[in-house]
Chains A and B, each alone.
Chain A
Amino acid sequence: MKIDRRYFLSLGIGAAAGTALSPLPWKSMDDSSIWSQNWPWTPVPPDGEATYENSTCTLCPGGCGITVRKIDDRVIKIEGRKGHPVNDGGICSLGLSGAQLLYSPTRLNGPMIKVNGSFQKISWDEAISKIAEKLTDLRLQGKSHTVAAITGSPRGTVPNLFKRFLDVYGSPNFLYPSSFEDSYSHLAKKTHGQKALPGFDFENADYILSFGAGIIEGWGSPVRMFRANSNWKSRHIKLVQVEPRLSNTAAKSDKWLPIKPGTEAVLALGIAYVILRESLFDQGFINNRTDEFSAWREGVLETYHPARVAGITGIEQETINTIGREFARAKKPIALCGRGEGRTSEGIGEIAAIQALNALVGSIGIRGGAFAVPEPDYIKWPEFALDETAADGLNQKRIDGAGSNQYPDTDSLLHRLPRAILSGKGEPVNAILIANANPCYTLPDTQTVIKALKKIPFKVSFSTYMDETAALSDLILPNHSYLERYEDVPVTWSLAKSLIGLTIPVVSPQLNTKNTGDVIISIAKAMKGSISDAFPWKNYTDCLKTTLGKYWNPLQNNGYMKISNYNPPEKMTKFVFQVPDKTFPVDPEGDEKVLPLILIPNDSMRLSAGSTGSPPFLMKTVSDTVLKDNDTLVQVNPNTAKKYGLKDGGYALLKTPRGFKKVKIYLSQGIGEGVISFPRGLGHTAYDKYLADKGVNFNELIGPVEDPASGLDVAWGIRASLTKV
């Protein structure tokens, strides 16, 4: 038989048709899909004994109580702790994702040193002696003051161990990121004669006037604020939100005042004008408890007539009158500020204007009002001796100018560090220790921050995760996760009574990590002499136990404790009016002619904008009007879009004086013409594929704008342009 081409083809076609008609392909397809469904990569979580342990969350400054559900020694879920004074069972989405952070592959396993641009593992002993040697070296050269440390907050034992270490070592450069609390503290020095933290008795207030505070967007202690907000809804208490954008807080408020961005304090003084003009203020409080009232009154009546204020703020004169009357006639009104989460500072003039409203109606230091809460003072460590080098070093000027003659009441101006390093003036920074902070992501003008930090020859990170700052460091000494360590958590944020929480190691350390407190004590001990002497504790747990003293046992059993029933001393219930100067509104950076739009950030409970990166669960909740694939969407009013030829979902180039990014357009009626916005918390370059390279980091597009009174960075927005691409 001749096998030609035609025969070959028909044989092939016949075979194919025959097979297709038989059940064979269908059966094997079915079998293979069932078989592959049963491949062992779908995990079967092992069962075991279920237990619950109480601890404290540290993922934001809120200080919520958590209950950790465990199966044997695995953490499987984190829930809000019932009966806890801060959150009473409620919990936010970040807190709920804690187990994903504990078991995250982005966690650092053991100390590492950078050699020729890549990290190599070293032992803890080697790592600690490396730092001790380097720091001893600098000290011997008389350069102790060129060492700096950045911690996430100035409060609690671990930050204070860093501070103590720098003191006895001989450096004044203890830095931390500033927030709304710092601006308030600065004002309290003027109005109460001593630094204090802002506290508000929201639970007993009956009228809330919020100047941009993201009450349900993470302001203060977030879950406590959610609870307060629900409580207002049940009691039909009016919430007035002053904000340029229809945020969730604005959407949930009873009255939203869509204001021109940056002019909030002007509106506050316009409202004050109404209360003054109509004599609606609390005469008794003004007479007995305030100073400088008449000078302030004159200043307000001279400059802040509602007609003029309406022109500046875009809020109608009639509305200003109504709000003024409502606020003054309420029994327990509270005015508050701190834009968004309040993690950025606010001008002292602005806070003074808003706080003056509380003073006008006598809502200071009383039930249902605003409180000035003193800093927690449970850390009382023995005095230590400074050697000559340390004394010399401490006498040097701080690198950021905080505490100088210009800003005597400011403790830290972290935003100035990059420029101080890059300017080349003064002493360079030779070494930096960074704990519980991620300045290479959270500081404004991030690219400059990274450039500056790269210039520091010895950077030590104490991060738990491979974040942006750890990736840039020369040495990493990873901390335990908050579920693996003891640490005190002073909760100050907006509570009328401060509270200490304690994190409890609910699981043993999963990786080769060490409590940062222990590491600092070990470094000090390795350096011998006066430095070692200043750290008399065996280890960090010993330090914590000694520090907390009689509080230790109750804290360990209970997980939290109220320091005392705070009855404000008399000076904390007084108020000194600050005659409004011309320092606000602070103008945003940039030239209006070239950059006609104003870009403002927004905060969201569904993204973590702080030093902890958003875990995968959190990223899953992010709306597709915020992030689509890897693009950030910028919220734009349709009229603005029309003007610049932008289309919904189209690409555009977003330019600010600090940089430019390709973004997508999201048309929305929740924002006014000429203003655009997108949230903080995206655009990480470190972490894993669930978070890295997604969207734009807002901080890269904004730069610091300083408050003349405090030097703090009070930028609330920046000029920008959008061009279709």
Chain B
Amino acid sequence: MTQEHRKAKKFGMVIDLDKCTGCGSCMVACMAENNVPFRENETDKLKSITWMRVYKLTNGKPYPKEEICYLPRPCMHCEGHKGHSPCVTVCPAIATDYDMDTGIVSQIPTRCFGCRYCMAACPYHARYFNWWDPVWPEGMEKSLSPNVSPRMRGVVEKCTFCFHRYQLALDKAYAEERRELEEHEYQTSCTQACPSDAITFGDLLNKNHAVYKLKKSTNAFRLLEKLGTNPKIYYLSSREWVRRAGDNYRPGEGTGKIKSHH
């Protein structure tokens, strides 16, 4: 196995919500990179496929005390306990798997037979079902990338941390007789596109990667940590009410303490 030569990685993200402006670039960068289909009416957000979705949070106070915070939500690539991510454990087809070498939760559409157990199991609504075959307007199929297969009707899809980019970067490194990648060689499409530099991507175990330090900030939190999903997306916010929206704390409990680190 080629992986024997490399140390195991845990790829993850730190998203600075103070910098995120909710502009939607990450969403479109993801769609364009991963051949995400679109339909005539995309206003039913339960059926609109967006591997990366930007949620709008508000503090619920009346005008003019209202505050808004945007929260980009890719797949959390949960590690759970020793790789027992909520979705992976329920998949009867091994169409989704936790990769111990990269920490990436894979999704193999051709194995998926559409039972949608994983969607029910995912607490982050990060998975989407193809209710219809994807149809591109005449001529627009030309814009599809050969690096990611378009999915057929009846299967589940989700964010893969642009795994094909990892493979391409590795291929290139191998060709140059290298075994390890530099931090900048493997970056997801959303990270690259973000005009505000709000997203940082890298190996959470590598001390030289920016994410390693950022995740230790006292402003860091993860979503629904109390469920034990052990997600690999960290968020930073200087605002207490935003950190609380991560839903990890008992009333009166202080925020800013990540319970278990990678």
Contact = CB atoms under 8 A, between A and B. Distances in A.
B32 interface: yes
A670 B68 contact: yes
A90 interface: yes
Contacts of B25: 90-93, 96, 605
A47 B24 contact: no
Contact of A47 (B27, B146, B195): B146
A283 B13 CA distance: 50
A248 B69 CA distance: 9
A624 interface: yes
Nearest to A46: B146
B42 interface: yes
B64 A256 contact: yes
Interface stretch (A76-84, A327-335, A434-442, A564-572): A76-84
Contact of A41 (B29, B133, B143, B193): B133
Nearest to B35: A45
B32 A246 contact: no
Contacts of B146: 45-48, 71, 76
B79 interface: no
A713 B196 CA distance: 33
Interface string A600-641: 000001100000000011111111110111100000010000
Interface string B170-201: 00000000000000000000001111111000
A271 interface: no
Contact of A45 (B32, B50, B145): B145
B24 A621 contact: yes
B31 A617 contact: yes
A76 B33 CA distance: 8
B43 A45 contact: no
B27 A92 contact: no
A312 to B, nearest CB: 17
B140 A689 contact: no
Task: Give the interface residue-count category, chain B.
Answer: 35 or more
B192 A89 contact: yes
Interface string A102-137: 111100000000000000000000000000000000
Given A74-B142, A617-B32, A624-B43, A216 B23 contact: yes
A35 B29 CA distance: 32
Given A91-B193, A670-B68, A629 B144 contact: no
Interface in B46-72: 48, 50, 54, 56, 58, 60-70
- Secondary structure at the B interface, as helix, strand, loop or mixed, is loop
A43 interface: yes
Given A37-B153, A42-B133, A42-B134, A246 B68 contact: yes
B18 A233 contact: yes
B253 interface: no
A227 interface: yes
Interface string A144-157: 00000000000000
A627 B153 contact: no
Given A80-B193, A104-B140, A251-B67, A97 B32 contact: yes
B21 A76 contact: no
Nearest to A234: B19
Contacts of A671: 63
A96 B29 contact: yes
Interface in A626-675: 627-630, 637, 668-673
A99 interface: yes
Instruction: Please give me the 8 A-B residue pairs with the lowest Cβ-Cβ distance, nearest first.
Output: A90-B195, A251-B68, A226-B195, A99-B143, A45-B144, A621-B24, A258-B64, A605-B23
Interface of A: 33, 36-39, 41-48, 71, 74-80, 87, 89-93, 96-97, 99-100, 102-105, 216, 222-223, 226-227, 229-230, 233, 246, 248, 251-252, 256, 258, 510, 605-606, 616-625, 627-630, 637, 668-673, 688-690
28 contacts: A41-B135, A43-B136, A43-B144, A44-B149, A45-B35, A45-B146, A76-B144, A76-B145, A77-B32, A79-B29, A80-B192, A90-B195, A93-B25, A99-B32, A103-B139, A105-B139, A227-B195, A233-B16, A246-B64, A246-B66, A251-B67, A258-B63, A605-B21, A617-B32, A621-B24, A621-B54, A627-B43, A671-B63
